[in-house]
Chains A and B, each alone.
Chain A
Amino acid sequence: MRFLIIRRADADTEAGRPASEELVEAMARYNEELVRAGVLLDAAGLAPSSAGAIVEFSGGRATVIDGPFAEAKELIAGYTMVRADSLQEVVELVKRWPTLDGGGNVEIEIRRIGETDEYDMSDELKEKEHQMRAQAEANRGE
């Protein structure tokens, strides 16, 4: 199973305050642990929402709203993708998240990623989906 670990935003991440060297090192050590455990698939931080946008679709029309956006807690500051055997395994990994991050006050969401074979779609579409994934992987240079 694959899971997306979402580090929710807060006032500091939205302000674009650079992480301290200690925090950068702590996150690097944590990610190394995930690598050694053979579970890490991807991890990245996001720029503050001031560099982003929301596209709202209504009645088939798209409207672009430039960032920044209020409600920092509903935004995402970064993500980590892992492969694990169970949700519990991921919960245990997340409980060891560096407490330097957010001064020990952070919210982290764990979500299971859907796999192609779990969806109720035709074999033809599943095949297309597999091809799309192979191509995306090639684009990532893996």
Chain B
Amino acid sequence: MRFMVMVKHLENDPNMPEPDEEMFASMARYNEELVKAGVLLAGEGLHPSDQGALVTFRDGVPTVTDGPFAEGKELVGGYWLLEVKSREEVLEWVKRIPADAAVTSRVEVRQVLSDDD
């Protein structure tokens, strides 16, 4: 089974620490574990929404809104694609994501549909 694991957060959250070498290093160690277990298919970080755009279709007509477009909602900051045997297995991996104890963060875990679905 394939899962998309997304770290979500509010943009411009003042409690969010700037990523530093230590944070990158703990993430690299976690990614190495995923690689060793053979479950890692992809791992990416996303730039803030100011480098993106939102396209809204209404009755088939697209309207483009330039970023930032967070609207005070949580956006995806980064994600992993993992290939595992069960939902339980992916949740065990997610619980081990290096999280800053000073910040509350949410990680959304969603199953990716395969052609068989």
A51-B111, A106-B57, A125-B25 given as contacts; is B104 within 8 A of A4 (CB)?
Answer: no
Instruction: Tell me the number of A-to-B contacts counted with CB atoms below 8 Å.
Output: 184
Is B64 touching A55 in the complex (CB atoms < 8 A)? no
Is B99 touching A139 in the complex (CB atoms < 8 A)? no
Per-position 1/0 for B48-70, Cβ under 8 A of A: 01011111111111101000010
Which positions 1-39 of chain B face chain A at CB distance < 8 Å?
Answer: 2, 4, 6, 19, 21, 24-25, 28, 31-32, 35, 38-39
The bracket for how many chain A residues form the interface is 35 or more
A53-B91, A54-B106 given as contacts; is B47 within 8 A of A114 (CB)?
Answer: yes
> Which chain B residue has the least Cβ–Cβ distance from A61?
B101
Per-position 1/0 for A34-55, Cβ under 8 A of B: 0000000010111101011111
The smallest C-beta distance from A129 to any residue of chain B, in angstroms, reads 7
Is B101 touching A47 in the complex (CB atoms < 8 A)? no
Is A59 touching B113 in the complex (CB atoms < 8 A)? no
Interchain CA distance A106-B111 in the complex, whole Å: 21
Interchain CA distance A4-B4 in the complex, whole Å: 13
Which positions 11-66 of chain A face chain B at CB distance < 8 Å?
Answer: 42, 44-47, 49, 51-60, 62, 64
Which positions 92-130 of chain A face chain B at CB distance < 8 Å?
Answer: 94-95, 97, 99, 102, 104-114, 119-122, 125, 128-129
Q: Main secondary structure on chain A at its contact with chain B?
A: mixed
B-chain residues with CB within 8 Å of residue A52 when the two chains form the complex: 108-111
Of B43, B55, B109, the residue contacting A136 (CB under 8 A) is: B43
**Which residue numbers of B lie inside 8 Å of A, CB to CB?**
2, 4, 6, 19, 21, 24-25, 28, 31-32, 35, 38-47, 49, 51-62, 64, 69, 73-76, 78, 83, 87, 91, 94-95, 97, 99, 101, 103-113, 117
